Amino acid sequence: KAGVTQTPRYLIKTRGQQVTLSCSPISGHRSVSWYQQTPGQGLQFLFEYFSETQRNKGNFPGRFSGRQFSNSRSEMNVSTLELGDSALYLCASSLVVGTDNSPLHFGNGTRLTVT
Amino acid sequence: EDQVTQSPEALRLQEGESSSLNCSYTVSGLRGLFWYRQDPGKGPEFLFTLYSAGEEKEKERLKATLTKKESFLHITAPKPEDSATYLCAAPGNQAGTALIFGKGTTLSVSS
């Protein structure tokens, strides 16, 4: 069974630009979550989607947005990039919405560098 | 405020030298405690979920345990391939939180 696939693996952008990251969940998984990982803050929750609806959102500015398609694939977008947005962006899928009973399965992330 | 704290930040072991990693949490009404392993350049890989105090789970050289305040990941006779960052996480209760992760323990096992 294929795991969570994230594209691209690496991105270099300039301040002020915008970026779109893509995530394909494990087949049959309908929930997709996004996390930002930095050396200082660790993993921080961005948002969770289930059945094309945002079910939960972390404490990030409105420049961070996402969406989920009918085939459960998800994209996240960051507009007006700042240097502090440099991070590893991780997508995770699970069978059901919420984190209580269904472990998250992570992709290998997209490494975003903002210069 | 819900918090998950891991210690130590880094741990160096010789092959075969057993030890434990600690994860303490202040999350009311714990709804699960998750352990993940993360290798450099990769995403976290799910290891265990624990739900109640006294519960234990094992996988190869790893054993996870849970009390009312903390969880331990015991590593018995580690091998170099066990070198990784180990993360623990718990579902948060505040709005805007999902899984709250600790900062991780980076384990290095030398032969």
Residues A111 and A35: their CA atoms lie apart, in Å, by: 12
> What is the average per-residue pLDDT within B81-104?
92
pLDDT of residue B101 exceeding 90: yes
pLDDT at A100: 67
Cβ contact (<8 Å) for B98 and A92?
A: no
pLDDT at B90: 93
From B42, which residue of chain A is nearest by alpha-carbon distance? A108
From B37, which residue of chain A is nearest by alpha-carbon distance? A106
Residues A95 and B54: their CA atoms lie apart, in Å, by: 27
Say which of A44, A90, A99 has its CB closest to residue B43: A90
Cβ contact (<8 Å) for B98 and A99?
A: yes
pLDDT digits (tens, 9 = 90+) for A62-77: 999 999 999 999 999 9
Q: Chain B partners of A106 at a C-beta cutoff of 8 Å?
A: 36, 43-46
- Which amino acid does the sequence have at B25? Y
pLDDT at B98: 87
A16 has a chain B CB within 8 A of its CB: no
Cβ contact (<8 Å) for B101 and A42?
A: yes
With a pLDDT cut of 70, the percent of chain B lying above it is: 100
DSSP letter, residue B80:
G
* Mean of the per-residue pLDDT values of chain A: 94
Q: What is the DSSP string of chain A?
A: ----EEE-SEEEE-TT--EEEEEEPPTT--EEEEEEEETTTEEEEEEEEETTEEEEE-S--TTEEEEE-TTS-EEEEE-S--GGG-EEEEEEEESSSSSSSS--EE---EEEEE-
pLDDT at B40: 95
pLDDT digits (tens, 9 = 90+) for A81-105: 999 999 999 999 998 777 666 789 9
CB B23 within 8 A of CB B49: no
> What is the average per-residue pLDDT within A21-35?
96
Q: Chain A partners of B85 at a C-beta cutoff of 8 Å?
A: none
Instruction: Return the ∠ at Cα B29 (arms to B52 and A101), rounded to 5°.
Output: 60
Q: Per-residue confidence at B93, pLDDT binned at 50, 70, 90? A: confident
Joined tokens for residue A82? 């700042």
Long-range (24+ apart) CB contacts under 8 A made by B45-54 are: B45/A106, B46/A103, B46/A104, B46/A105, B46/A106, B47/B86, B49/A103
Say which of A42, A56, A105 has its CB closest to residue B98: A56
